[in-house]
Structure 1
Amino acid sequence: MNIRGYARAHPRRVTAVVSAVGYALVIGTFAGVLPIFPDIGRQTVLLFSDAIAVINTCALTALLLGYYFVRRGKVRAHRAAMLTAFALILLFLVVYLWKVGGGFEKEIVIEQGQFLAAYADVVYPLYLAMLAVHILLSALAVPVVVHAVVIGLSHDVSEIPDTDHPIAGKLAVASWSLSLFLGVVTYWMLNHVYSWAPR
């Protein structure tokens, strides 16, 4: 049995394994037990931060286009858009983990004179709340997104309506879109509206 055949017969097992590998990479990088990324300097961290925002914006655009296409019955265009979004998220994961593992994270700093600085006691918790929802949805969306992709790649188009793909796809689009949107908003707040300090 080839990989596609195995994924077709056992989509949930494949989803569980791929999701577990993804979680292990993220947790291992943050815990510092996976020293697989070369060290990078401050300028590269800044470049990676900007690249991540561009990647996430493109992924969100592809995701919404994919939803638009499937609602209009354009299945091939839907598939291309969703696979593009998935490939962009894999690219994001590499760049993000490299930024964290080889560089550093940033912490928002609201300085006097900046936009709504007088309301920092509201802006700062709002930023943290958006960041928390972004991170939580990113984590929760992994198995749903992977499951939708696994089914989409392992089944023929005519079989898709009789699988978990339609439900998983709707959940993936909702959680993934909100996560990406909040990621871009918090990026702008951290890098272009307010100041930051290494964490």
Structure 2
Amino acid sequence: METPLVGGWVRDHPRATTLLLAVVGYAAVVGVFAVPSVQALFPELTLGQVNLLAHAIAVVNTLAATSLAAGWYWIRNDEVSKHAHAMLSAFVLILLFLSMYLPKVAGGGTKEFVLESAYAWVPLWEWVYPAYLLMLAIHILLSILAMPLVLYAVVLGVTHTPDELRTQTPHRKVGRVAASTWILSLVLGVVTYVLLNHLYGYEFVAA
């Protein structure tokens, strides 16, 4: 991308733009978790619909992590155009994730981990559940921390040329932290999804 995709006020105020977008994102997530009037905007989901969304989210997150890893590889090999397209693809995938995650949380209830399995080869060690909770907690924490970093890296990326990004912005430094945090969060999210939905049992608590 030799010319910026976005100019004007957004280009002149990337930090303010990032802050605004982050506030909107945090507000949406907090709303579906804790604000009844926001939750009421979404339809109540059945367990089957919750499972369908969970499977779709896992696929999207896997694709996003793959795109991020590819983008990281390409920028290390100075393939700027491929890097940019990979990172924008990952960002679009995360927007798709949010379009499924918000209604799933607001109208789908929760699935509580149960230390049992339909497979004899799956271990039922006592530390499995604490390990699951730890991975889930790290996944959530990294997701919270990654949002403003990812948004800032994306805003800089779409408002500056490659030369400007290298010489006039902290895009490289911010992008490195954002991508590593984001990838780890996505991987842990997929791992906990597999544990909860495929290897071990769960108890569904409707919204």
Q: TM-score range by the shorter chain?
A: over 0.9
**Partner SS for 1:38:** coil
**Partner SS for 2:37:** coil
Displacement over 3 Å in runs of 4+: none
- TM-score, L = length of structure 2: 0.91
1:3-18 to 2 correspondence within 5 Å? 4-18=7-21
**How far apart, in 1, do the equivalents of 2:175 and 2:149 lie?**
8
**How far apart, in 1, do the equivalents of 2:92 and 2:43 lie?**
22
The answer as to 2:53 corresponding to 1:51 is no
Of residues 92, 96, 109, the one that matches 2:101 is 96
Ranges in structure 1 where 5+ consecutive residues have no aligned partner: none
**How far apart, in 2, do the equivalents of 1:130 and 1:4 lie?**
39
1:44-83 to 2 correspondence within 5 Å? 44-83=49-88
1:77-156 to 2 correspondence within 5 Å? 77-111=82-116, 115-117=122-124, 119=125, 121-156=126-161
Partner AA of 1:53 in structure 2: A
The Cα offsets for residues 110-167 of structure 1, whole Å up to 9 and x where unpaired, read as 12757211x1x21110000000000000000000000000000011121001201101
Partner AA of 1:193 in structure 2: L
Partner AA of 2:175 in structure 1: G
Matched pairs, number: 195
Partner AA of 2:161 in structure 1: D
Of residues 168, 173, 190, the one that matches 1:167 is 173
**Partner SS for 1:33:** helix
Ranges in structure 2 where 5+ consecutive residues have no aligned partner: 1-5
- TM-score, L = length of structure 1: 0.94
The answer as to 2:34 corresponding to 1:27 is no
Aligned-residue sequence identity (percent) comes to 48
Let me know the Cα RMSD of the aligned residues: 1.3
Higher helix proportion: 1
